[in-house]
Amino acid sequence: MHAGVEPCEATGAIMTPIYQTSTYVQDGVGNHKGYEYSRTLNPTRHALEKALAELEGAKYGLAFASGLAAMDNLIKILKPGDEVISTDDLYGGSYRLFTTVFANYGIKFHFVDLTDSDAFISVLNENTKLVWIETPTNPMMKITDIKAVSESVSGNDVLVCVDNTFATPMLQQPLNEGADVVMHSATKYLGGHSDIVMGCLMLNNDALDEKLRTLQNSCGAIVGPMDSFLVLRGIKTLHLRMIRHSENGKAVVDYLSSHPKVEKVYWPGLESHPGHEIAKNQMTGFGGMISFIIKGNNIENAYKFVESLEIFTLAESLGGVESLVGHPATMTHASIPKEVREKVGVTDGLIRLSLGVEDVEDLIEDLSSALEKV
Ligand code: P1T
């Protein structure tokens, strides 16, 4: 709740002021109070970046215009010929950024099942410069052992970055598991209210921070003061929201798992989940993201179900206080070719839920009446 935030020195305001300014007076050339121009730094964004760092137990935090802009900034430290090993199940937009943007600049991407160490080792080579871990993955909820992957490349010149969007720093702190960088789509749980788009990077290494900050200023995908304020406000209730999201997650998983029309439920808190033991070690809770399949695994039932819900809103995104439902194959993961997404389980029947903080009885009632219609 208090991460990184101090009362305003000038006025005593408890809440961080929104410094809606692009520039700052200089008493003489180069004589200023630490702020020159708001692309480089703005006091509201500065407060946010300090709060973000503290949340992940990091020395540095950098905020960007979106989650993808944060990733873009990190990948730009690579050079043609460098290689990236990425988890094979990941947000469709991340896959698109890697394969349709950076692949054209001579960076090679390998998509492998990071839960399979042999598969990982088989693509690791002297050109590998970055390992991209999403855990839990979007949308299959696969779990990667962050410590094991980090240890397997330690001592080499390979960065490990974890997309911690689904877990949040409340449930998982990748830097403590040996990762070098943490990335978030702050659009999701950090903001928490579906009212901003933002991304961030958190890390400890001084030289890497310097490089990333130079890129942030040179390329300019920064966040404005109003959005910075909204995420600072969202962060104050992150701990409360994550407790409720996880409680609602467990109750809905219990309900769906025993429903006769449900074929399969994906949630790392389930004992039958292949990554459950690792999740128990590296996470303090299992969160409110769930994927599942209705018996028959077909698009007709999936569409009928998502369109019948009344409390859950059919929409892209996740992590807000209100519950959302999505159809990954045609929404968030539509940019991944069908054969590639189906190989990891993103079939036409897959449904994804982002559980909000509503009364769980209302959510279950809504799911129950939609299931009656399929
Ligand atoms: O949307 P943006 O803030 O640019 O963040 C991209 C992103 C990165 N990583 C993960 C794990 C994500 O889930 C996302 C965005 N995801 C959605 C919009 C979604 O509905 O899955």
Edge to edge, the sheet with strand 324-326 lists 262-266, 289-294, 350-354, 324-326, 313-314
End-to-end CA distance of the chain: 43
What spacing in Å lies between the alpha carbon of 360 and ligand 1's midpoint? 25
Question: Which of ligand 1's atoms lies nearest the C-alpha of 333?
Answer: 21
The greatest distance separating any two alpha carbons of the chain, rounded to the nearest whole angstrom, comes to 74
Q: Is 335 in the pocket of ligand 1 (CB under 6 A)?
A: no
Single out the residue of 347, 302, 344, 350 nearest to residue 142, CA to CA. 344
Q: Is 345 in the pocket of ligand 1 (CB under 6 A)?
A: no
Separation of alpha carbons 87 and 366, rounded Å: 33
Look up 91 and say whether it is catalytic: yes
Q: Are 295 and 353 in contact (CB under 8 A)?
A: no
Q: Are 133 and 160 in contact (CB under 8 A)?
A: yes
Burial of 157 (0-12, 13-18, 19+ CB in 10 A): exposed
Q: Are 176 and 150 in contact (CB under 8 A)?
A: no
Helices of type H across the chain: 43-55, 67-75, 92-96, 117-123, 146-153, 168-171, 206-219, 225-235, 238-257, 276-282, 299-308, 338-344, 360-372
Q: Report the nearest-CA residue for atom 1 of ligand 1.
A: 67
The pLDDT assigned to 197 comes to 98
Q: Report the nearest-CA residue for atom 5 of ligand 1.
A: 67
Number of other CB atoms surrounding residue 68 within 10 Å: 21
Q: For a pocket test of ligand 1, which of 162, 185, 291, 313 has the largest count of ligand atoms closer than 8 A to its C-beta?
A: 185
Q: Are 329 and 341 in contact (CB under 8 A)?
A: yes
Q: Is 182 in the pocket of ligand 1 (CB under 6 A)?
A: no
Separation of alpha carbons 358 and 15, rounded Å: 27
Q: Is 138 in the pocket of ligand 1 (CB under 6 A)?
A: yes
Look-up of token digits 């990071």: 114
Q: Report the nearest-CA residue for atom 17 of ligand 1.
A: 317
188, 241, 250, 352: which is the annotated catalytic residue?
188
The pLDDT assigned to 327 comes to 98
Q: Is 93 in the pocket of ligand 1 (CB under 6 A)?
A: yes
Question: Which of ligand 1's atoms lies nearest the C-alpha of 165?
Answer: 11
Q: Is 199 in the pocket of ligand 1 (CB under 6 A)?
A: yes
3-state DSSP assignment of residue 179: coil
Angle between helical axes of 299-308 and 360-372 (0-180°, round to 10): 130
Look up 304 and say whether it is catalytic: no
Angle between helical axes of 206-219 and 67-75 (0-180°, round to 10): 120
Separation of alpha carbons 133 and 182, rounded Å: 10
CB neighbour burial string for 301-336, b if at least 16 within 10 angstroms, e if fewer: bbbebbebbebbbeeebbbbbebbbbbbbebbbeeb
Q: Is 318 in the pocket of ligand 1 (CB under 6 A)?
A: yes
The pLDDT assigned to 9 comes to 87
Q: Is 324 in the pocket of ligand 1 (CB under 6 A)?
A: no
Q: Is the N-terminal amide bond of 337 cis, ω within 30° of 0?
A: no
Q: Report the nearest-CA residue for atom 20 of ligand 1.
A: 317
Separation of alpha carbons 212 and 221, rounded Å: 12
Q: If the chain, 374 residues long, is cut into consecutive pieces of 10 residues, what is the mean pLDDT of each piece?
A: 85 95 97 96 97 98 98 98 97 97 98 95 97 98 98 94 98 98 98 98 98 98 98 97 98 98 98 98 98 97 98 98 98 94 96 98 98 97
Backbone angles phi, psi at 353, to 5 degrees: -115, 135
Look up 35 and say whether it is catalytic: no
The pLDDT assigned to 1 comes to 84
Angstrom distances, CA of residue 44 to CA of 48, 168, 194, 265: 6, 22, 20, 41
Separation of alpha carbons 150 and 344, rounded Å: 23
Look up 105 and say whether it is catalytic: no
